Chain A
Amino acid sequence: AQSVTQLGSHVSVSEGALVLLRCNYSSSVPPYLFWYVQYPNQGLQLLLKYTTGATLVKGINGFEAEFKKSETSFHLTKPSAHMSDAAEYFCVPRFYFGTGTSLTVIP
């Protein structure tokens, strides 16, 4: 099974600041990679995905992620945090979810 590491189970940023959520995966072959978001008391929603092609992937709500094979990383970023971004974020290589990062946005 592929494993994934999300550094930082809790991340706090100020409103308007850069959001950076880290994800490193372990695999011998380039996987499909996804970021999912889970808002409080809501279901999981796909933010963005990398399959093949362009390594910089843009998703919904202004998020993007860059697939870096040499670093086995797929970090999620957003230039300016909004209060509505507060949620749990999961990095997912194929079927296996990371432990998640809880994002808090401070007004």
Chain B
Amino acid sequence: DAGVTQSPTHLIKTRGQQVTLRCSPKSGHDTVSWYQQALGQGPQFIFQYYEEEERQRGNFPDRFSGHQFPNYSSELNVNALLLGDSALYLCASSWIGAGNTEAFFGQGTRLTVV
């Protein structure tokens, strides 16, 4: 079992650009959540996808959007990048059949905006 995989592992973008991050959930999981972890901070919940729809959303602007595909994989898109978007972006997967009571995290994508 490969667990939760994220790509790419590192990324450098210029302010104003757009970025897409990808996540493949753990086998058997159907729910994907995305988090932003700034340096020295705890992960901040961005949103959660289930059945290809956004089900929950944290306090993030509309520049942050996502998508879930029929195979449960997910993408996080960030438009009009700001320097403050530099962070580790974490994907977590879970199974709604278990009430999403255990989330498995990927290693994250380190995004640097210059």
In the complex, which residue of chain B has the Cβ closest to the Cβ of A4? B42
A51 touches B101 (CB 8 A): yes
Contact size class for A?
10 to 19
B58 at the interface (CB under 8 A from A): yes
A44 at the interface (CB under 8 A from B): yes
Q: What is the minimal beta-carbon distance from A98 to any residue of chain B, in angstroms?
A: 6
Q: What does the 1/0 interface line of A18-62 toward B look like (CB < 8 Å)?
A: 000000000000001010100000011110010100000000000
B107 touches A96 (CB 8 A): no
In the complex, which residue of chain B has the Cβ closest to the Cβ of A100? B42
Complex Cα–Cα for A79 and B106 (A) = 30
Q: What is the minimal beta-carbon distance from A87 to any residue of chain B, in angstroms?
A: 13
In the complex, which residue of chain A has the Cβ closest to the Cβ of B45? A95
Kindly identify which residue among B43, B48, B102 contacts A46, using a CB–CB cutoff of 8 Å: B102
B58 touches A44 (CB 8 A): no
Q: What does the 1/0 interface line of A77-107 toward B look like (CB < 8 Å)?
A: 0000000000000100001111110000000
A95 touches B33 (CB 8 A): yes
Q: Which of A32, A44, A46, A95 has the most CB of B within 10 A?
A: A95
A97 touches B105 (CB 8 A): no
B90 touches A44 (CB 8 A): yes
A95 touches B58 (CB 8 A): yes
A99 touches B42 (CB 8 A): yes
B45 touches A97 (CB 8 A): yes
A46 touches B103 (CB 8 A): yes
Task: Give me the interface of B with A, judged by CB distance under 8 Å.
Answer: 33, 35, 41-45, 48, 56, 58-59, 90, 92, 99, 101-108
> Top 6 A-B pairs ranked by shortest CB distance?
A97-B42, A44-B105, A95-B45, A100-B42, A97-B43, A43-B107
Can you report 18 residue pairs joining A to B where beta carbons are below 8 Å apart?
A: A1-B58, A1-B59, A32-B101, A34-B103, A36-B105, A43-B90, A43-B105, A46-B103, A90-B42, A90-B43, A95-B33, A95-B45, A95-B48, A95-B56, A98-B42, A99-B41, A100-B41, A100-B42
Task: Give me the interface of A with B, judged by CB distance under 8 Å.
Answer: 1, 32, 34, 36, 43-46, 49, 51, 90, 95-100
